[in-house]
Amino acid sequence: MNVNLTWGCGVGAIIAIENSLVPNTYEFEFDLITNTEILEEQHIYFQRLKWYMEAHFNCCVLINFETPAFDLITEHFNQIIFQTNQPPSDFTVGAMLFLKLSRILNNKIILNKLAISSGLGEYIKYSITGIDIADGTNTAPWMPAGSPPWWMRNDTSINDIATKELITWESINLGLASELKKFTPTVIPGGKNET
């Protein structure tokens, strides 16, 4: 049975605008539909969504890869970097998160709509669905041809900066048993009485 869910959260982040770092607060609302009857899958995928927003997106630095201070910030800041391919307006951030979270949810929970508003955006609410996203949102000039940017993959990435080891779902206890590799032991002959 499919169930309609609505979940919301508020987070803080920093936006890099030209040569300034500006604090911002965001409000999100997610309209979801479960698409699996397996309760463990519903729970794990919902927890992945919550973790991504509350632990990963919260307190990050949002920065367009073309910002003059991009290299400086990505090399010297200890915060998580949310890399964008356009200036990080509320709509751009919402569209990138819609794409990323849809992949994270892996069609086990369907993200119908993401609503985003922010303090810097005067709390004007943008409602984003899959049909609202422009084609340019799917491209990343810094990626080699044929390689998907971070928002088009189902891993925990929030940027394509290869400076830190990627957190895995398993390392934060949000992996599914069906995704884990099966352990198959090999019995090696030998022992106390064997030569």
CATH of residue 37 = 3.30.479
Query: For residue 41, what pLDDT is reported?
Result: 94
DSSP state of 79: S
Q: Considering the chain, what is the average pLDDT of its residues? A: 87
Determine, yes or no, domain membership for 188: no
113-125 tens-digit pLDDT: 999 999 999 999 9
Contacts 24+ apart (CB under 8 A), 155-158: 156/52, 156/56, 158/56, 158/57, 158/60, 158/80, 158/81, 158/82, 158/83, 158/100
Q: What share of the chain is helix, strand, coil (3-state, %, to 5)?
A: 30, 25, 45
Determine, yes or no, domain membership for 184: no
> Which residues does the chain have with pLDDT short of 70?
134-139, 162-164, 177-191, 194-195
Number of domains in the chain: 1
149-190 tens-digit pLDDT: 889 889 998 888 866 677 889 988 998 865 544 445 566 666
Determine, yes or no, domain membership for 42: yes
Query: For residue 137, what pLDDT is reported?
Result: 61
How many CA within 13 A on the CB side of residue 14?
Answer: 15
Range of the structural domain that residue 68 is part of:
4-179
Determine, yes or no, domain membership for 195: no
Q: pTM for this structure?
A: 0.85
Query: For residue 161, what pLDDT is reported?
Result: 80
Helix (H) or strand (E) holding 100, with range, is helix 90-105
